[in-house]
Chains A and B, each alone.
Chain A
Amino acid sequence: MRALHRFNGGVHPPEHKGESTLRPIQQPPLPEKLVIPLHQHIGNSAKPLVEAGDTVLKGQMIGKAEGYVSGAIHAPTSGKILSVGHEAVPHPSGLKDLCIVLAPDGLESWTDLQPIDHLNMDPSTLRNRLRDAGVVGLGGAVFPSFIKLNPGAGKRIRTLVLNGAECEPYITCDDMLMRERAREIIEGAAIMRHMLHAEEVVIGIEDNKPQAISAMREAAGQSMEVVAVPTIYPGGGAKQLIRVLTGIEVPAGERSTDLGVQCFNVATAASVYRAIRHGEPVLSRIVTVTGNVKNPGNFEALIGTPMDHLVDQAGPLEGSDGAIMGGPMMGFDLPSTAVPVVKATNCIIVKSDALFPTKPQPMPCIRCARCAESCPAELQPQELYWFAKAGNFGKAQEYALFDCIECGCCTYVCPSHIPLVQFYRYAKSEIWAQEREKKAADLARIRHDLRQERIEREKREKAERLAQKSAQAKTAEHSQPEQK
């Protein structure tokens, strides 16, 4: 048995996972149109490869990865491109972003797929394949996976961690995936192990998912270790899970690869498997639709499926009032559900006043430090709050503001109901804005200095040229009579 470690704090919110695990993963009917954002990952937006009027095949690349940190985008089904333009995307502000709108033809005609046998391929070929297949972290961070599978020369990966913890309340998409498609996850993990030359693979699953644990144990056999970890939020945070399974603490700003560990979500492993062994890019993902609905459950939704479409399948109940994308601890309010499912959409929670009552008015901080006791990053949230509130951002950084993972434990336990995480998000964005301004100012100053220098130089050169000319003229004048 592996000796497990613990991390500071954490909380036990009501789980609400049972509701959405009653039925198997469902295939929703094909929606009338798909809205596929070109920016579904960390890094640069994909570059559109199609125009309105084009016909595309299922799995055809319609957006090309741009630059190193980026991912490709594909047509989730066959059909006709209606437009390439700005549409509302899932974002707290109701932001519009470049999207490809696709009208499915219902034929599901596939493009040519090229499965590869990973054992005969070197990791760099496999990485290129994953990049072109649009494989990104499906745990929510949507970081391009091929980058994480490139530890760099001389770096040894001892442990590959697979994250099946799924610690947020309500979300069950990984749970259902592990129950139903454990083999795909294990095969994907084997490919990643091959790419990283990892010595061991450890799969962490919270002990509130016994069915997923046994399915994964059966699929893994002796090759990988499936570990039941204690159920405590945010035990599924990558750093927290790495800590629990290996005892290693990955400091903020450092890469876990430098410490010999790499961590992937289980759904990412499954999509690695499909991308390599079947040549299938990421066209869909499992989405939990739960909360104030009649039939909460999990849907295998094509990327770009309007969320409305999924919510309708689950049957919203009376008293529904908006929706959350993600979990109730770290998710965000959707201004509208008329936005598409993206690669980051793990869960849609239909809200009601009964499920999420309005919080009481905040009271002053009484310095009780319950926030510090609950903080998995071992910060002093009360200090950060005072500094953020006072606009003392330098001090906030000194007290490790950027080590905050915004898990929300502090806010959850605050007896004064202070929206602490909001203050940290605010302070971080202010600091980023200041840094951008400073950079811009520095750049302007450098430009100004260079310009001054150039003007000076040109003046000097002009003066020199003039002096030379007049000197020449003088010599010419002097010599003229002699030439005559």
Chain B
Amino acid sequence: MNSPYLAKSPSVAQIMAKVLLALIPAVAAYVWFFGPAVLVTMALASATALALEAVMLKLRKKPVKPYLLDGSALLTAWLLALSIPPMGPWWLIVTGTAFAIVIAKHLYGGLGSNPFNPAMVGYAVLIISFPVQMTQWLAPLSIAQSHLDFMSQLGYMFFHALPQGAQLDAFTSATPLDTLKTQLHLDKPMAAIMSMPVYGAIGGTGGQWVAAAYLAGGLYLLQQKIISWHVPAAFIATIFIVSGTFHLIDPAHHASPWFELATGATMICAFFILTDPVTGPTTPRGKLVFASGAGFLTFAIRTYGGYPDGVAFAVLLMNICVPLIDAYTQPAVFGKKK
């Protein structure tokens, strides 16, 4: 053994466990407002991720146990499961997870070596390949026209079977961001759009509380020093300032900045996705640049792009820039500051 002989926790596994723990409030809120289907999605994604992780570790001749227990595959599975519609067909979940673990993670060298956020790669593959399934979101329970019981939901996910007489449209709906885009396209006034039942006080009905739970989990991670303030602060501030500016100039076509923060994947991205250390920059200034860029791209894609939310592509585009950002934001060393 060599010095230093001492080590301080947390280990990688402990860090991942805390991040998983920080996701629990959001999962609880999700179940409360949208029903338990998301738990099935998470379980299926987790099982797929762990199985494929084990296979890939075996193929790559890595020790299976320590890597499987590091929690990184589980975290990828959860983040992907929370990003896709909660009642998607089983093959959608398996395909997305497989892409995330096998291609985005292990083919690039596994833990620590993947340049792109695996969960976001999985999401991007799915939204490009299966746009229909990827936009069938469950409506919040409080406003859905009819309910599917849990067994029927399972029947839909695994056998593509709906009970006699049930209509998919009756319990699914477009997301608040998607609805906004469509309605603005139909020249509906902003005030009228915002009074639709899919919208709550700030963001989407139900969704705004899930976002608040992500925020709470993120604050826990900050308090535990698992993440630094740079990424969430820069991301949230950029979205707020950019969307706020557009809202001030043209309120008829741009929702309030608070809406942009409370809808879509803004909060999960700020605290759980962009903060992935493997695919982000390491320097403090680099983190600010990276997260601001992602915030700007998220707003741009939401507002002008063809996809309902911009987070996944914003993250992947910024992932590409990480080596450059790191190289140009190296801080001065001790005694050599200007």
Contact = CB atoms under 8 A, between A and B. Distances in A.
Contacts of A330: 3-4
B12 A366 contact: yes
14 contacts: A13-B8, A249-B335, A332-B3, A333-B2, A358-B1, A361-B66, A366-B277, A369-B282, A372-B283, A377-B334, A403-B334, A408-B3, A412-B4, A414-B7
B44 interface: no
Nearest to A404: B333
A246 interface: no
A326 B283 CA distance: 33
Interface in A408-459: 408, 411-417, 419, 421-422
A356 B12 CA distance: 20
A328 B334 contact: no
Contacts of A148: none
Interface of B: 1-12, 14-15, 63, 66-67, 70, 110-113, 277-278, 280, 282-283, 326, 330-337
Given A333-B1, A363-B66, A422-B2, A413 B110 contact: no
A417 B278 contact: no
Contacts of A411: 4, 7
Given A380-B330, A403-B333, A367 B10 contact: no
Chain A interface: which size bin? 35 or more
A329 B282 contact: no
B12 A399 contact: no
A415 B15 contact: yes
Contacts of B12: 363, 366, 415-416
Which secondary structure characterizes the binding site on chain B? loop
A358 to B, nearest CB: 7
B335 A380 contact: no
A421 B67 CA distance: 24
Nearest to A328: B5
Contact of A413 (B1, B8, B277, B332): B8
B112 A365 contact: yes
B63 to A, nearest CB: 7
Contact of B335 (A239, A324, A364, A416): A239
B278 A367 contact: yes
B153 to A, nearest CB: 36
Given A360-B11, A363-B70, A380-B282, A13 B6 contact: yes
Contacts of B110: 364
A398 to B, nearest CB: 10
User: Which has the most chain A C-beta neighbours within 10 Å: B7, B70, B277, B332?
Assistant: B7
B233 to A, nearest CB: 16
Interface in A358-386: 358-361, 363-369, 372, 376-380, 382-383
Given A363-B70, A368-B15, A412 B333 contact: no
User: Which has the most chain A C-beta neighbours within 10 Å: B6, B15, B63, B283?
Assistant: B6
Contact of B3 (A254, A329, A380): A329
